[in-house]
Copies of this chain bind each other. A is one copy, B any other.
Amino acid sequence: MNDRFLRACRREPVDRTPVWFMRQAGRYMAEYRALRAKHSMLELCRTPELSLQVTMQPINRLPVDAAILFADILLPLEPMGAPFDFAAGEGPVIFEPVRSRAQIDALRECDPHEGLGYVLEAVRLIRRELDGKTPLIGFAGAPFTLASYLVEGGKSSHYVRTKKLMYGEPDAWNALMAKLSNVVAKYLVAQVEAGAQAVQLFDSWIGALSPTDYATYVQPHVARILREVETCGVPVIHFGTGTASLLELQRDAGGSVIGVDWRTPLDNAWDRLGPGVAVQGNMDPLLLFAPKDVLEAQVRRILGSVRGREGHIFNLGHGILPETPVENVQFVADLVHQVSERA
């Protein structure tokens, strides 16, 4: 079994730096586009055999050291009572955005074994199919990021409605965050029980908040989730973007691995986080569009900046974009292994 990824999560010595890519299964792969031509995004997510197929696409093609469940962070919203779909080229659309206390109170704290049983079945299928080839990472969206979609009704530039609720109705906000946190915690635990060997909590849009507001309105909820999930004994990756000023607060909220984006130099981030956590990151996904020499220099720069420390998982700072050339992803995975090979 390739346990490089899990060893790095635990800050144990590895033969080579492990590498995987956020959104490594996705539109940039012809195999994925072929499947998507036949099925909607939600069909792929909700059909365990299809989720298995998509999850395995990068594993069968690229030398990555971890598989990540193919799913979407928004899946829990539907069994909670807030159905949505993906509009072509527009991102997710929540049919009835949640903006009032009454709507928040009406959200169901669904049992993931019922409302999200198809995800857990996918985890079981993938784990069996992987058969030790790589570990499997499960994941969920963090409550602020989920709340931003729920309240805004989709993607947002300024999070006006979300922050209005947060600042203006703290009780309603906390009720919403508590409900989301309950579901997310149970969902992550259920994924581990189904076979996920690590989990990642995606707080993708948390960089919209000041440290003060993160500490006041978000951190206690995230900490509660991570305390519950950590009892499972698997590594937990705590990820966000635009987090340069939030890293210490995120670490304090929990997670054995902190995901860092390209906006913060990785060595500097790790110095601030201290030796008690592993780090994951942090190449700009746009570098996958760069010529090989530019790409190579940046991979070497990132690896060089943390050389000699145990606990680095190479990844991007955010997901692979749809038009990315597959050969560049392959190139980076190979290069990371080659450059980081221990004597």
Interface of A toward B, CB cutoff 8 Å: 158-160, 163-164, 167-168, 207, 209-213, 242, 244-245, 262-265, 268, 284-287, 289-291, 294, 298, 301, 321, 323
Known: A158-B285, A159-B286, A160-B286. 16 other contacts (CB 8 A): A158-B321, A160-B323, A163-B286, A163-B287, A163-B289, A164-B289, A164-B290, A167-B290, A168-B289, A210-B262, A210-B265, A212-B298, A212-B301, A242-B242, A244-B244, A245-B265
Which of B207, B211, B294 sits near A167, CB closer than 8 Å? B294
Contact between chains at B242 and A207 (CB < 8 Å): yes
17 A-B contacts (beta carbon < 8 Å): A160-B321, A160-B323, A163-B284, A163-B287, A167-B291, A168-B290, A168-B291, A168-B294, A212-B265, A213-B284, A244-B245, A244-B263, A244-B264, A245-B263, A245-B264, A245-B265, A245-B268
Residues of B within 8 A of A209 (CB): 263, 284
Which of B168, B207, B286, B291 sits near A263, CB closer than 8 Å? B207
What separation, in Å, do the CA atoms of A284 and B298 have in the docked complex?
33
What separation, in Å, do the CA atoms of A265 and B211 have in the docked complex?
7
Contact between chains at A210 and B289 (CB < 8 Å): no
Q: How distant is A23 from chain B, measured CB to nearest CB, in Å?
A: 12
Nearest first, the 3 A-B pairs at minimum CB distance are A244-B244, A167-B290, A163-B286
Contact between chains at A158 and B210 (CB < 8 Å): no
Counting chain B CB atoms within 10 Å of each CB, the highest count among A158, A167, A210, A212 belongs to A210
Residues of B within 8 A of A160 (CB): 286, 289, 321, 323
- Identity of the chain B residue whose Cβ is nearest the Cβ of A246 in the assembled complex: B263
Q: How distant is A146 from chain B, measured CB to nearest CB, in Å?
A: 19
Q: How distant is A250 from chain B, measured CB to nearest CB, in Å?
A: 13
What separation, in Å, do the CA atoms of A168 and B212 have in the docked complex?
39
- Identity of the chain B residue whose Cβ is nearest the Cβ of A214 in the assembled complex: B263
- Identity of the chain B residue whose Cβ is nearest the Cβ of A244 in the assembled complex: B244
Contact between chains at A210 and B263 (CB < 8 Å): yes
What separation, in Å, do the CA atoms of A262 and B268 have in the docked complex?
21
Residues of B within 8 A of A289 (CB): 160, 163-164, 167-168
What separation, in Å, do the CA atoms of A158 and B286 have in the docked complex?
8
Residues of B within 8 A of A158 (CB): 285-286, 321
Residues of B within 8 A of A268 (CB): 245
Q: How distant is A196 from chain B, measured CB to nearest CB, in Å?
A: 29
Residues of B within 8 A of A287 (CB): 163, 167
What separation, in Å, do the CA atoms of A139 and B3 have in the docked complex?
55
- Identity of the chain B residue whose Cβ is nearest the Cβ of A262 in the assembled complex: B210
What separation, in Å, do the CA atoms of A109 and B212 have in the docked complex?
44
Q: How distant is A286 from chain B, measured CB to nearest CB, in Å?
A: 4
Q: How distant is A182 from chain B, measured CB to nearest CB, in Å?
A: 26
What separation, in Å, do the CA atoms of A215 and B19 have in the docked complex?
27
Counting chain B CB atoms within 10 Å of each CB, the highest count among A168, A286, A287, A321 belongs to A286
Given contacts A212-B298, A262-B210, A298-B212, contact A164 B286 (CB under 8 A): yes
Residues of B within 8 A of A291 (CB): 167-168
Residues of B within 8 A of A245 (CB): 244, 263-265, 268
